Structure 1
Amino acid sequence: MTNKISDNKLTKEQTNELLNVLKARFVKNMHRHEGHEWAKVQEKLDGNPEKLWSLNEMERTGGEPDVIGFDEKKDAYMFCDCSAESPKGRRSVCYDREALESRKKHKPENSAIDMAVSMGIELLTEEQYRALQDLERFDKKTSSWVQTPADIRELGGALFCDFRFGHVFLYHNGAESYYAARGFRGLLMV
């Protein structure tokens, strides 16, 4: 799982290794998905090799993905990054491509939106971020970009969240900004 796969497919060995990691995390953290069974989750995963690749990318970049719920309308499990802090392999990024290109000096290597798209995942919305924090506390030392409404983005801003002083906070920053302690959390429907 630590090696990036170039053709968006995992070998059988990589698939088995990833499934073992995901199952162990699922069993260890039942409070995130009470009432759900691993066998049903794995059945969905077995039929979606492209989603397994995306989960591997989440894992490879330090996200520690886990099931956080089930969407009845979409008939899909919701996997989210559940690392204690914003995933290490996705920090020091600005918000999107436009913000990245607007920087004249000291450009980061990538943007949150571009990374998410390349991984096949989506940034959390503010609502999803707050729901995740209801399961347990995340981002006590870091922060995570969240999906930003178009009207805010058009004015050059972007939104991020963290957990401080017993509360989830939503903040704004210039979309071109980036910090060593700010990354993003992703969501994947399987």
Structure 2
Amino acid sequence: MKNQTKLPQERIDELFKILRTRFEKNMHRHKGMEWDSIQTKLENNTDKLWSLNEMEETGGEPDVIGFDKKANEFIFFDCSAESPKGRRSVCYDPEALESRKKYKPENSAIGMADEMGIEILTEEQYRELQKLGDFDTKTSSWVKTPADIRKKGGAIFGDWRYGSVFIYHNGAESYYGARGFRGSLRV
């Protein structure tokens, strides 16, 4: 994760306003939850605010999609309609980035997620997200790839087409202007 700096209070206030507005507009994503509980949790975990700000700044439009009772954590996912704009044209992971000899992208999905302090969505989480709306109808998003696939040089990504979630494969070193990644954050 990048060397984090505390967000200025002005940005914290602005971020809370953005997150609250999104929360209130999308109550179907978090039935039975109240914003005040989430804000209190965030105020007590300011390091997570930095990560949420990174998600917002790169176009992810983070929103609460669940609550883990066992861990006592709210779960945020990137809920932008398409794969976040500020995270596209990236290969899968640092190893894939290193393996490219020509035309290297600037970063990798796993590398960026680590810098942002978030986790890339798993296939299961990606399918869970798609139950909340139609996401990635024109783009696609890398998802956490099982180790056995990655060892063979591959990586997986998903999108929404024809009313269904599709999970595909590609070489981990590939990158496209319409493929990025979505992340999750627990607070």
TM-score range for the pair, normalised by the shorter chain length: over 0.9
C-alpha separation in 1, matches of 2:5 and 2:121: 22
Letter in 2 for 1:176: E
C-alpha separation in 2, matches of 1:145 and 1:9: 29
- Aligned residue for 2:56? 59
What is the deviation of 1:7?
3.7
What is the percentage of aligned positions where both structures have the same residue?
A: 70
- Aligned residue for 1:124? 121
- Aligned residue for 2:104? 107
Of 67, 70, 73, which aligns to 2:70?
73
Structure 1 window deviating more from structure 2 (7-16 vs 171-180): it is 7-16
Gaps spanning 5+ residues in structure 1: where? Answer: none
Gaps spanning 5+ residues in structure 2: where? Answer: none
2:96 maps to 1:95:
no
Letter in 1 for 2:163: G
Residue pair 2:97, 2:107 contacting (<8 A) in 1 also: yes
2:102 maps to 1:86:
no
TM-score (norm: length of structure 1): 0.96
Aligned 1:96-175 pairs, distance under 5 A: 96-175=93-172
- Aligned residue for 1:45? 42
2:14 maps to 1:17:
yes
Letter in 1 for 2:184: L
- Aligned residue for 2:174? 177
C-alpha separation in 2, matches of 1:85 and 1:149: 24
C-alpha separation in 2, matches of 1:6 and 1:63: 21
Letter in 1 for 2:180: G
Q: Is the partner of 2:5 in helix, strand or coil?
A: coil
Letter in 2 for 1:26: F
C-alpha separation in 2, matches of 1:7 and 1:169: 36
C-alpha separation in 2, matches of 1:83 and 1:139: 9
